[in-house]
Structure 1
Amino acid sequence: MSELAELIAGWAQPGCVTWIGARPERRAEMVSLEESVIAEAGLISDRARVGKRAVTLIQQEHLAAIGSCLGQGPVAPEILRRNLVVSGINLVALKGREVQVGEAILRLTVICAPCSRMEEALGKGGYSAVRGHGGWCAEVVRPGRVRLGDVVQPVD
């Protein structure tokens, strides 16, 4: 393995699940959960997306960055409509890799771009504030239970 490949594969510490959310149907309010099961189609209590967008993740550290871009404190996770908020690990560095989240294994696939509802939810500039901070979509490699406080780390 080259030196650059080793640097890219490295990570400092495991992360942690700090929030779990689901929405039972389109445009429904997010429901905050203490635990859920990640099935092949995503969180059991969430509307199914299947494939490379089955589960959405965002770093807790980005909630403050988004809020800062809006001139306020950290944004509440339910506003951004992602399934999992994790802290302490850089999700960008995990793109394309298998990641253990609780008992489940996910593969981070594509950036989770903001939707037009961010202007409605966050006010003027909300869409732009989320750009680059909106998190990642993931496909389910192995279903399993996820709980608040669970470890998030690369499988390899």
Structure 2
Amino acid sequence: MLSQGAIMLDPEAGLPSDHYHSRTQRARQVTLVGTENLAAIASFLGRDAVGPEQLRRNILVSGVNLLALKNRRIRVGAAVLEVTGECQPCSRMEEILGPGGYNAVRGHGGVTARILVGGTVQSGDPVQRIDDGD
């Protein structure tokens, strides 16, 4: 995984270079994780840091309670997403993060989202909840 300053989100195809690109199951087109979640995972593992690429997450955010946004629409940059669920850890977390990796990620893996309106997301773009009627 490579960190990018900007990426185009497409409602039909997802993220151009993502593992889930062009899959028919659109509920998991994008994954988001918070810097606070990564800090909690690192703390549990006794590490200085854990990166979003280790969890294979697409968008890193800060200061947002992602789990509270389930079934809500959010704007990130020019794109509009619908948060579809919690991103559960997979068995590879033990391999990637070492012993205890799976448990460290439980409850801190971020969320999955569907792309409703495509657009460019750039580093530093805020996450804004879209209330009903907006």
Please state whether the residue corresponding to 2:99 is helix, strand or coil. Answer: coil
SS in 1 for 2:40: helix
Count of residue pairs brought into register by the alignment: 127
Partner letter of residue 100 of structure 2? G
Name whichever of 139-148 and 73-82 sits farther off: 73-82
Which structure 1 segments of 5+ residues have no match? Answer: 1-29
Asked if structure 2 preserves the Cα contact closer than 8 Å seen for 1:36 and 1:45, the reply is no
For 1:44 and 1:37, the matched residues in 2 are separated by 8
Residue in 2 that maps onto 1:130: 105
Please tell me the residue identity of whatever aligns with 1:102: G
CA RMSD between the two structures: 1.1
Which of residues 3, 16, 19 is equivalent to 1:44?
16
**Match of 2:6?**
35
**Is 2:46 the partner of 1:71?**
yes
Taking structure 2 as the reference length, what is the TM-score of the superposition?
0.90
User: Larger % of strand: which?
Assistant: 1
Contact 1:99–1:106 (Cα < 8 Å) also in 2: yes
Q: Decide which of 92, 100, 110 is 2:67's aligned counterpart.
A: 92
Give me the whole-angstrom Cα distance separating, in 2, the residues matched to 1:126 and 1:71.
11
Which residue is equivalent to 2:86? 111
Partner of 1:83: 58
Q: Which residue of 1 aligns with 2:120?
A: 145
Aligned AA (1:65): A
Structure 1 or 2, whichever has the larger Rg, is 1
State the secondary structure of the residue aligned to 1:68: helix
Q: Normalising to structure 1: TM-score of the pair?
A: 0.78
